[in-house]
């Protein structure tokens, strides 16, 4: 029994050495090979919008939301189509204003987080972060 336990212990230490060996092999790889592997991993990962698109959409939605507030106070037609006398005028502007501001904040937050993730990935590929 003691011998069997010793055999299991040596198997565990061998199993622990393998990830370390893989890490050492990965550190020894040239930068272009590491970048290629990183691209393959990114291709397998879920597809998401690029971070500049999140920031651009955040700006557009914020401008539309603030513009809706101005349209409401100035009593202008929505898109030049729905006059202020229409019963749909106030709900449409309210929808744009009350959902646009939080949505633009969410898009900005998501864009900044995605930019930070992209910067970390680039730093890892360049070797600044290990």
Q: Are 114 and 48 in contact (CB under 8 A)?
A: yes
User: Quick check: 9 pLDDT over 60?
Assistant: no
Residue 22 pLDDT more than 70? no
| Residue-level pLDDT at 37 | 80
* φ/ψ (deg, to 5) at 63: -65, -40
Number of H helices, E strands in the chain: 4, 0
* pLDDT at 70 (0 to 100): 92
Question: 3-state DSSP call for residue 78?
Answer: strand
Answer yes or no: are the C-beta atoms of 45 and 38 closer than 8 Å. no
Give 69's Cβ-side CA count (13 Å radius): 10
User: For residue 10, what pLDDT band results from cuts at 50, 70 and 90?
Assistant: low
Q: Sign of the C-alpha dihedral, residues 28, 30, 33, 38?
A: positive
């Amino acid at each position: 029994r003691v011998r069997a336990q010793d055999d299991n212990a040596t198997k565990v230490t061998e199993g622990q050495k393998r990830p370390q060996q893989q890490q050492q092999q990965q550190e020894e790889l040239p930068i272009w090979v590491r970048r290629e592997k990183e691209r393959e991993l990114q291709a397998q990962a879920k597809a998401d919008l690029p971070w500049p698109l999140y920031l651009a959409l955040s700006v557009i939605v914020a401008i539309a939301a603030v513009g809706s507030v101005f349209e409401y106070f100035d009593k202008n037609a929505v898109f030049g189509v729905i006059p202020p006398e229409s019963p749909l005028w106030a709900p449409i502007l309210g929808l744009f204003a009350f959902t646009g501001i939080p949505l633009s904040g969410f898009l900005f937050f998501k864009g900044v987080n995605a930019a930070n993730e992209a910067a970390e990935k680039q730093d890892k590929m360049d070797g600044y972060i290990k």
